[in-house]
Structure 1
Amino acid sequence: MEPDDHQPPQSPFNAIPLVVIALTLLILGIEAVFQMANAGLIGGPRGVGWRLAAVEEFGFSGAVMDRVLERGDYSFDLLKRFVTYAFINVQLTQVAFAAGLTLALGKFAGEYYGGTKVLLIYLLTAVFGAVIYGLAVEGRVPLLGSFTPVYGLIGAYTYALWLRLGEAGEKQIYAFRLIGFLLGLQLLFGLLFGSGQQWIAELSGFAAGFCISVILAPGGWEGMLQRLRQRS
């Protein structure tokens, strides 16, 4: 018998790190619970208020930062908010974009950095974005949603693209086209519909993702210094 050359098609999810799939499912799963509660499918009459309760329990704001810095309150209830806010979204469209970008950017970043480092980038940029937001924005205006760590993944993607363009001898400034496009869209929507201050956390997340990737990329910091010496 001749060997069967027809291999079964591989699932597109095989190339996506499990941690990226888990983050995406977590974002979608939490929103699914809120949607079912609002529709009265779960939670009964109290289910309608689950999102608001989650915001109060897991959201972040400048007031949280004040309690940590001024009162020295390092309780778990406060520290968890530096991460958990990123999984409490406020709009269905926000969830859709955040989940889609997490999956797409996480796939690319996972191929370049590895799944564990993607999770590290995601969490660290969420924390860094919250810290900068908490220092810049006073009061109880909440920081919510997955866009801050998503921008962190964009930062990691940008650094990887920056390296690849450099290796190919092309203009590395092109690596910043995606973040430039997104910031342009954000400015446009801000002018049309009004803008909050979440951009502070998102831009901080991007910067943190880019800088962290200098260490996490293949070759790490030493590789970066070596590339700089070669060009000098």
Structure 2
Amino acid sequence: MDQEPHNGAVNPLPPVVAALFLVIMGIEIAFFLGARGIVGGPAAVGWRLSAIQSYAFSGEIFDWMRDSGVWPVEHLIRFVSYSFVHTSFTHALFVGVFVLAMGKMVAEVFGGLAMLAVFLVSAAGGALIYALLLDDPMPLVGGFPAVYGLIGAFTFILWRRLGMVGANQSRAFSLIAMLMGIQLVFGLVFGGSADWVADLGGFATGFALSFFVSPGGLARLRGKIRHE
């Protein structure tokens, strides 16, 4: 029997998006409750700091690995793990909201696994660009570079759709331009870190990766290569 079409006002959330949101917020809730002594006992007060020390991305550690040629797994994992450790509940909540919004739109077009790949690879790409371009001793934490990767994938979707109807494809980049403009204003007014470099790196990674993981992406690339 054919399934009836979904007639609800809101399309159901893709399971991988919901799972990613729950992981991010589940970790943060554990930190939140532990800091208040509700779970974990006295040692739980230091869970967040311990997690930052163990899982944040460090440009200094990256420089050491590159110079020594030694790449321990415990440090390589930092390219992705930093995205799941946040400085505060509000920090994690903002990331979670963006994951729900951007993740849903990307997963509905690319599929759940491709959306997850964009999130994780963009986290690594943002961290790599952060380490290569800057000499910042501050550790990189939080999921915004990965979220900006999802924004990059969403921009790719708009870019392709505008191209299909012959519209101005530069309009697809209005969202990232607005977000980076807001970051610039906040940085000038309140001061800030250089995390925006990782965010922009995540966006670029997500946009570029979309050429491969979008539906028919590899076929289009092979076709272009054959015709060159």
TM-score, normalised to structure 1, is 0.88
Q: Does 1:207 align with 2:204?
A: yes
State the partner residue of 1:184. Answer: 181
Structure 1 residues 61-91: Cα deviation after superposition (integer angstroms, max 9, x where no partner): 1112112211122211111111100000112
**Bigger shift: 72-81 or 157-166?**
72-81
State the partner residue of 1:56. Answer: 53
Q: Does 1:25 align with 2:22?
A: yes
Misfit runs of 4+, over 4 Å:
7-12, 224-227
Change (3 A) 1:9 1:35: farther
Say whether the 8 Å CA contact 1:113–1:218 is kept in structure 2. Answer: yes
Change (3 A) 1:188 1:225: farther
Q: How does 1:91-130 map to 2 (within 5 A)?
A: 91-130=88-127
Match of 2:129 among 122, 127, 132: 132
Structure 1 residues 139-160: Cα deviation after superposition (integer angstroms, max 9, x where no partner): 5310000000000000000000
1: CA distance, partners of 2:116 / 2:208? 15
2: CA distance, partners of 1:222 / 1:214? 10
2: CA distance, partners of 1:92 / 1:158? 28
2: CA distance, partners of 1:131 / 1:186? 20
Q: Which runs of 5+ in 1 are unaligned?
A: 1-6, 228-232
Please tell me the residue identity of whatever aligns with 2:177: G
Change (3 A) 1:224 1:175: farther
Aligned residues between the structures: 224
SS at 1:15 equivalent: coil
Match of 2:75 among 72, 78, 82: 78
State the partner residue of 2:149. Answer: 152
SS at 2:86 equivalent: coil
Q: CA RMSD in A?
A: 2.5
Match of 1:39 among 36, 46, 54: 36
1: CA distance, partners of 2:194 / 2:6? 49
Superposition deviation, residue 225 in structure 1: 8.0
Q: Which runs of 5+ in 2 are unaligned?
A: none
2: CA distance, partners of 1:180 / 1:113? 23
Say whether the 8 Å CA contact 2:114–2:214 is kept in structure 1. Answer: no
Say whether the 8 Å CA contact 2:122–2:205 is kept in structure 1. Answer: yes
Superposition deviation, residue 118 in structure 1: 0.5
Change (3 A) 1:11 1:116: farther
Say whether the 8 Å CA contact 1:64–1:134 is kept in structure 2. Answer: no
Please tell me the residue identity of whatever aligns with 1:155: G
**Bigger shift: 132-141 or 87-96?**
132-141
Superposition deviation, residue 136 in structure 1: 2.4
TM-score, normalised to structure 2, is 0.90
**Bigger shift: 23-32 or 213-222?**
213-222
State the partner residue of 2:172. Answer: 175
Say whether the 8 Å CA contact 1:31–1:89 is kept in structure 2. Answer: yes
Structure 1 residues 155-208: Cα deviation after superposition (integer angstroms, max 9, x where no partner): 000000111111122221111111011001101110111120111111000001
Change (3 A) 1:191 1:53: same
**Bigger shift: 27-36 or 129-138?**
129-138
1: CA distance, partners of 2:119 / 2:6? 33
Say whether the 8 Å CA contact 1:59–1:88 is kept in structure 2. Answer: yes
SS at 1:16 equivalent: coil
Superposition deviation, residue 17 in structure 1: 2.0
